[in-house]
Each structure stands twice: as structure tokens, then as C-alpha cells.
Amino acid sequence: MRVVIAEDLTLLRDGLTRLLEAFDFEVVDAIDNGPALLPALLRHRPDVAVVDVRLPPTQTDEGLKAAIAARERIPGLPVLVLSQHVEPLYARELLTDQAGGVGYLLKERVSDVEQFVATVQQVAAGGTAFDPEVVAQMLARREPLAGLTAREQEVLRHIAEGRSNAAIAARLFITEKVVSKHINSIFAKLGMPPSDDDNRRVMAVLKYLDA
């Protein structure tokens, strides 16, 4: 699986490269600045890009802008965005494109190697993965959630983190049938039709919560 990494901190960039290569990823390019990222993504067309939000020269949102621009040119290009802090605005930017294959992860999660690699693989496969801390802040901002039961809010949080019905059932020690019942109730209360497609349901929920 071919990967482009964009990270300006040398130690982290080298660490990500070695980590992914240890799990049989092929790092085809490692970028340390914003202007070089878009050309690299268009040239290599990787299976997934792991991109820091803030890159030189301005350290604002060069990484994010390059990723969004690349997805406009290559629809569905899988991008996992890394950030030092919880920034829901950047999550919303990613969600404007419903092609799937997007993720938003806090850099501190990289220390959990297995989870980080699983997230990269999930995004590369066209899935959606958002950091639990980002999801929690987005969920806390919306009044309509007051209409959900405590269990429904718990299920919704797991949905937004990209978990399948089976994974949610295992986490909450309930059956998949009960999870499905909760999901149908959640979408009914939020005025959205239920869907078996994980990408669409996650993005629909997050877009609604951050509208």
C-alpha cells in the first residue's frame, strides 16, 4: 500500500515512515512543507496520504488545503489528517466531500501503534475515522442531542468514530440487533433515514452535528 506523508517535524516524519514501513506500507514520498504536498499527491496518487494540518511556510492550514485540493483533482483520494489539537473546523472541512476515505486524528494517538495503523488502513479502504476527542466536542455542541437517550448518545458517538454495528455491540456488551434498533431510533430523531453504509451514516451524522 503506497503512502505519502506530510509532516514538518523531522523526528515525527521519520518515525511515521519507519512505523508504516514496518507494517508493509510503501512510503513513496515524505513532504515537509505545504507547497510541495499537492504536486506530490497528484504525481504519486497514493493509496492513502497522512497529512499534518499545519505545515510551513505559514504553519496554518497548508496541509489541509493541499489535501482538499488533491481530492478535488482525484475524487476519493484517501486522506488521514493529523493535528496537534482538537479543531472541529478542520473536521467539517473534510466532511464537505462525501466520497469517503477521510480521517482526522490527534497526533498523540500515533503512540498507540496498532490503533494508528488500523486507522490508516481503514481510511485507505475508503472508510471514515475521526478521533474520539473531536467527536466528543462536536457532539457536545448540539442541542438536538438532548432528545436522545444516554444509550443512544453513546451509540451515536461510536458511529461517529467509524465503528461498525458489530464493533459497537462488542464495546457496549449488547447484541447487533439492539445496536440496529438504537441506530434506527437515532436517525429517526435526527430526521435522517437510516443507512447500512457506514461512510454515509458517519458523515451525515457529523455534518448534521457541526452544521
Domains of the chain (ranges; CATH) run 2-130 (3.40.50.2300), 135-209 (1.10.10.10)
For residue 163, give the DSSP letter.
Answer: -
Overall average pLDDT of the 143-156 stretch: 78
Q: What is the Cα–Cα distance from 140 to 136, expressed in whole angstroms?
A: 6
Question: 10 Å Cβ neighbour count for 82?
Answer: 25
pLDDT class of 29 with cuts at 50, 70, 90: very high
Q: Which pLDDT tens digit goes with each residue over 111-149? A: 899 989 999 999 999 888 888 777 777 666 655 566 788
H-helix segments, 112-197: 113-124, 132-140, 150-160, 165-172, 176-189
How many Cβ atoms sit within 10 Å of the Cβ of residue 201?
A: 20
CA atoms within 13 A on the CB side of 96: 12
pLDDT number for residue 87: 72
Mean pLDDT of the chain: 84
pLDDT tops 60 at residue 210: no
**Residue 182 predicted with pLDDT over 70:** yes
Rounded CA-CA distance 128/198 in Å is 8
Three cell numbers at 105?
486524528
User: pTM for the complete prediction?
Assistant: 0.73
Cβ 16 vs Cβ 5: under 8 Å: yes
